[in-house]
Amino acid sequence: MIKIRLLLLTLLLAPLTAVFADVADAVKSPKGYGSKGYVWGKLLPEQVTVLKLTGDPVRGKEAFRGCRGCHKADAAGVTDGTYPRLTGQHARVVIKQVTEVRAGIRVNPKMEPFSADHAVSPQEIADIAVFLATAETTRENGKGDGDAVAKGKKLYEQGRCRNCHGTYGEGDADGPYPVIAAQHYGYLKREMEYIKKGIRGNSHPDMVRAIRNYSHEDIDAMADYLSRLPDYRQSLAERKGK
């Protein structure tokens, strides 16, 4: 009964959903990757400002309220991957993503009104970033079906993804390169498709080159593998213990 009602609700919402259709309809950012003058990692004026500020995780938790409606109260996102997991993400990665959405370099119309400068101040971005970097979650992330883990691992290694994202998917706080271990499967897959197509506006050109020649099945296998890696903090702690 509930299922039928949900189905009806979904049908009613269908025309609206079209506005936010995913990979197939996503558009290139006019200011991002592939546009004239795009330089990966060139600091925007706002990034210079935010990076100078000292973030406070207690204030960050409060400022994150405006984000919880999508990324959830524990910042672990939605399991189907519509909204990514943000817990444990490097502060500099969070700052880069939010400010580049604000600058129109990474296109994210769903989030834009809630992360725009009228909604969040540079200080709040700095605060949220440290809050997220230290946030823990006990909730399981969305995982692939587990069929292609071995293949995914091989492709991840062959693609030299480790150079930037590390052996454990731990990324690099200074790169800044994102943590991709234990991220939701659906989100990983979508982002890699965006990167492949050149429509993730703030892509690293070396990564686009690395992913471009992978098939959809390859991407699926890597998403399966990465989604099944443990939280990188756990992996690093175990390595230290050995």
Binding positions for another protein, rule: CB under 8 A: 5, 9-10, 12-14, 16-17, 19-20, 62, 65-70, 72-73, 78, 80, 82-83, 109-111, 113-114, 116, 118-119
For residue 67, the minimal CB distance to another protein (Å) is 7
- Rounded to the nearest 10°, the torsion over CA 102, 105, 110, 116 is 0
Q: Which does 203 bind (CB under 5 to 8 A by kind): another protein, ligand HEC, none?
A: ligand HEC
For another protein, the closer of residues 82 and 234 by Cβ is 82
Q: Under rule CB under 6 A, which residues in 47-66 are in contact with ligand HEC?
A: 66
Q: Residue 159 binds which entry of another protein, ligand HEC, none, with Cβ cut-offs from 5 to 8 Å by kind?
A: ligand HEC
As to burial, measured by CB atoms within 10 angstroms (0-12 exposed, 13-18 middle, 19+ buried), residue 218 is buried
Q: Which stretch in 9-17, 50-58, 68-76, 137-145 sits in contact with ligand HEC by CB under 6 A?
A: 68-76
State in angstroms the smallest separation of the CB of 69 from another protein.
2
CB of residue 46 vs ligand HEC: minimum separation in angstroms? 14
Q: Which is nearer to another protein, 17 or 215 (CB)?
A: 17
Q: How far is CA 80 from the centre of its chain?
A: 13
Rounded to whole angstroms, how far apart are CA atoms 93 and 177? 7
What is the contact surface with ligand HEC in residues (CB under 6 A)?
Answer: 66-67, 69-71, 83-84, 86, 89, 94, 97-98, 108, 110-111, 114-115, 120, 128, 156, 159-161, 163-165, 175, 177-178, 180, 188, 190-192, 202-204, 206-207, 210-211, 222
